[in-house]
Amino acid sequence: MVNFSAEKVQEIVEEKDAEYKKLEEEYSYLKEEYGELEEVCQELKRERKNIPLKVKSVYLSQNHITELERITELENAVYKAQEINKELHETNLKLSKSLKTANRDFFILAAAYVATLALMIYLFIR
């Protein structure tokens, strides 16, 4: 088990927090774009319903295919962002536990130092 100093844990927490905020911004951007592309997809589906069955396969232009590919890529990006969000949350929990442990150890050492100092003063006075 690796013990980190409180400063190191704080640095790691700040780094992960910055990464988390960046990913949250990216996630919200991707979510907005996903909503826009979802509307485009619905519009394309409505258009497709209006086309006669014989002409459907011919009518899908490269733009429509590109839009559908963008929607698929965006869905994958949103899924990845959610997975990264989960990983960052788990890492944050681990770092919080480590920080609590480091703080507890620090206070134990400080108490031991104070007790030793008090004992030394007592023995010196005596």
Task: Say if 74 falls within a structural domain.
Answer: yes
Task: Say if 51 falls within a structural domain.
Answer: yes
Cα–Cα distance, 5 to 7 (Å, whole number): 5
Extract the tokens encoding 88: 């960052």
Task: Say if 106 falls within a structural domain.
Answer: yes
Task: Say if 1 falls within a structural domain.
Answer: no
pLDDT of residue 52: 61
pLDDT of residue 62: 67
Could you tell me the residue range of the domain that residue 102 belongs to?
6-125
pLDDT of residue 42: 85
CB atoms < 10 A from the CB of 87, how many? Answer: 13
pLDDT of residue 36: 85
Task: Say if 26 falls within a structural domain.
Answer: yes
Give yes or no for a contact between 106 and 3, defined as CB atoms under 8 angstroms apart.
Answer: no
Which residues of the chain are modeled with pLDDT < 50?
54
Please tell me the total count of domains within the chain: 1
pLDDT of residue 81: 86
